[in-house]
Amino acid sequence: MTKLLENSLLVSFDFPMKKAVLVICLLVLFNLSFATVYTHDQCHFGTATESSYFSASYVGENAFNDLINNYGWYTANGTTTGWLEYEFEQEKTIAAYSIFTRPLECSSAPKDWTFEAWDGTQWVVLDTQTGINTWTVSDQKTFEFSNTTSYTRYRISITANNGTTYTGIEEMEMYEEAVYIGNGGHESVWHFGFGASLDFRYDPPLAGTGSIIDQWEGCSSISDENGDILFYTDGEMVMDATNSVMSNGAGLYGSNSSTQSSLVVPHPTDSDIYYIFTLYRNGDYEFGHKGLCYSVVDMSLNGGLGDVVSGQKNIELNNPHTEKITAVNHANGNDIWVVTHDWGNNNFLAYLISSSGINTTPVTSSAGIVHYDSSNGWYSAGYMKVSPDGTKLALNVLGAHTTQLFDFDPATGIVSNPMTLTTSRTYAYGIEFSPDGTKLYTTGWEHNNILQYDISLGTEAAIAASEIEIAVSAVTGGSNYSGLGALQIAPDGNIYVAKDANGIGGSVNYLNSWLGIITDPDVVYTASKAGATYSDYGVYLGGNASGIGLPTYIQTYFKPLPVTLINFDAKCSDKGTVIEWSTASETNNDYFILEKSNGKDGFSEIARVKGAGNYNGLLNYRFVDKNEQYDYSYYRLKQVDCNGKSTLFNVVSLNCDEEIYFSPKLTAYPNPFDSEVKISVENITGEKLELQIYDEFGKLVFLKSYKLTNNTFNTTIQLKDLKSAVYNLRCISEDEILNTRLIRK
């Protein structure tokens, strides 16, 4: 059994529910038997309860607080039996769990127990263990079982322990099977830091093994159109898909201490050719003055594993140079701009890559402050990014403690209209746009906070005044170069945050073995909501560590999808499997492809449904699959643009051999909303229904009861007094508790 995890984190909240209400903001991934991939629940409200506790220092919530400190959950003294329950906000298909023992003793550990789930009527036993008496101090045992049913409430019911007068669990974790969504693309797999890699084709992202990257700062990875890794680089070496250095892949002119040491760009028309751009460190204050160079990788070489082409390695473009580079698609949608910043002046250099290759004569724009200092070259450091829509450019000048914002023209490559947002961000470093391009986020090297700017406000003064600290990390900044580093949008729409808790080459610890995460990055946050959108525990790195760098990509990869999908569901009926999906808006949408799999042999097309082209409003789609050849079926939706480009959405699964049951469904539309939201509940039972809305601090902000006359409920509620934020909508009937997320614009 290979385990790639650290224990879970549960943060206590004041929330008007049961005894102890917690919000999980973490990701734990590991492999059990048969190479099954599992994940811990991520960022959901929930409730911990217990049958009894030893004292106020040993209550049930302590078993979910990410601490091994001898203060877990323990039953009342003299009581050796009892139960510990956790209720999730939404249904989870738990298929494994772990138990941790105390560092001081293990005789209080459970010996005999059942692991159970509440089906609405009774507790269903999912796993039974007896005679577990081989515990050691600070031990962990993981138990796997078969389960394909989702529940909200789970508990462990203990009937015997290993000898003491009380029974306890120091820490407990529950796991779902990770879902392979197959959303492949060039940006699907990241390699960074010290042996870290993530595969975003899984939901949540899956930590990989085997990467040999060893890089404190800039790096780059590239996958094929299916998301399978082709190669990755730290700017000095190029590693292929087998985690081996390409035969001609050593000696590139990047640096392990260059902010954006490398960037990989595919040739627009030749699928075998890729360009690796490299940047050396510290302007002209390092021996060799290697500057900005590029090398060519041909994937047809070395049996398809690729190699750096002989004679096309470390070709100089500009020297000396800063550590800044970014890329975005040309306005024509085919060519690519690679944008860099010169050293010793305020010149931006935009190199166009077309079907003819690299135009080595750049478009030069003079704007913003001069990137030069005569002491250590730190004016060269700090990230630079173009917005996903290609209209804005932002950068940090580390040595000048400055953040600047510019306009970018994707048709001409010209940078203009400089705006200085701050000159007091000490060691300004990481920078990233929200997916919709209306917000800007920054970090400061040797600092542990994240700032947000609302760049939709338009003017320099208004944008600068919108600065708000949205999060403070547990990483302690200010010593040995530790703190928050790079910010990078991911395929899942979140922004991930590099954290270095030990400085250059530091050892793995509970902070740098996770990437931080900014969820809902399109939302404006205020001082009262600081921290609500950020968690230090965004995604676990499988025992590896990040430095302060993350991969640099072509920013167009993260442009919002042309279709806003509200829901995608499948349900059994006497006429076949009914697949339904709804969209809130469609742009240049040609058609949908519905695909099906038995979970073993891959997906195949079963239907093609015409899209709406361009439409802003609710659209509902429906298809009935009458061919039920599999016991357990998986369905996937693909959207195809009018220009032939496609996007894959999530996977849904069901077993129609089981009793036909139409599961309740809660839908809120529009979402995000302005002032009112329509609520729809399908397949609900009972005589009455209650709607509750909680803010991110657990405060009840809306409560209303309704009478049910049938199994479908619809209403419109006015929420104009709510501030821009993320809320939790809860629908409660006699038999069901349904939850969904609401976003107020």
Q: How many CB atoms lie within 10 A of CB 331?
A: 15
Q: How many CB atoms lie within 10 A of CB 701?
A: 16
Instruction: Give the strands of the sheet with 665-669, arranged side by side.
Output: 665-669, 676-682, 712-718
Hey, what amino acid is at 651?
V
Structure tokens at 354: 């077309």
Q: Could you report the per-residue pLDDT of 198-253, keeping only the tens digit for each?
A: 999 887 788 888 999 999 999 999 999 889 999 999 999 999 999 999 999 999 99
Structure tokens at 319: 């020297």
Helix/strand number for the chain, H first, E second: 1, 57
C-alpha–C-alpha distance, residues 667 and 712, integer Å = 12
C-alpha–C-alpha distance, residues 745 and 742, integer Å = 10
pLDDT given at position 643:
66
Residue 399 is classified by DSSP as G
* Range of weakest confidence among 15-19, 178-182, 434-438, 565-569: 15-19
At 49, is the secondary structure helix, strand, or coil? strand
pLDDT above 50 (res 11): no
pLDDT above 60 (res 287): no
pLDDT given at position 292:
96
Cα dihedral across residues 504, 509, 511, 514: positive or negative: positive
Per DSSP bridges, beta strands 495-500 and 514-518 are: antiparallel
The mean pLDDT value of the chain amounts to 84
pLDDT above 60 (res 531): no
In which band, very low, low, confident or very high, does the pLDDT at 510 lie, cut at 50, 70 and 90? low
At 640, is the secondary structure helix, strand, or coil? strand
Hey, what amino acid is at 20?
A
In which band, very low, low, confident or very high, does the pLDDT at 178 lie, cut at 50, 70 and 90? low
pLDDT above 60 (res 9): no
In which band, very low, low, confident or very high, does the pLDDT at 587 lie, cut at 50, 70 and 90? confident
Total-model pTM:
0.70
* Range of weakest confidence among 29-38, 51-60, 255-264, 632-641: 29-38
Q: In the predicted model, what is the mean pLDDT of residues 335-359?
A: 97
pLDDT above 70 (res 25): no
Q: Could you report the per-residue pLDDT of 57-79, keeping only the tens digit for each?
A: 899 988 887 677 888 999 999 99
pLDDT given at position 630:
60
In which band, very low, low, confident or very high, does the pLDDT at 284 lie, cut at 50, 70 and 90? low
Residue 537 CA, distance from chain mean position:
10
In which band, very low, low, confident or very high, does the pLDDT at 601 lie, cut at 50, 70 and 90? low
Strand partners, 543: none
List, in order of start, the domains of the chain with CATH numbers: 47-176 (2.60.120.260), 179-558 (2.120.10.30), 561-658 (2.60.40.10), 662-744 (2.60.40.1930)
Q: Could you report the per-residue pLDDT of 645-696, keeping only the tens digit for each?
A: 777 777 787 777 654 455 677 888 888 888 889 998 887 877 888 898 887 6
pLDDT given at position 563:
78
pLDDT given at position 629:
62
pLDDT above 80 (res 608): yes
Residue pair 559/435 in contact by the 8 Å Cβ criterion:
yes
Residue pair 366/346 in contact by the 8 Å Cβ criterion:
yes
Structure tokens at 270: 């030749």
3 state SS for 133-199: CCCCCCCEEEEECCCCCCEEEEEEEEEEECCCCCCEECEEEEEEECEECCCCCCCCEEEECECEEEE
Structure tokens at 133: 């008496």
C-alpha–C-alpha distance, residues 676 and 718, integer Å = 4
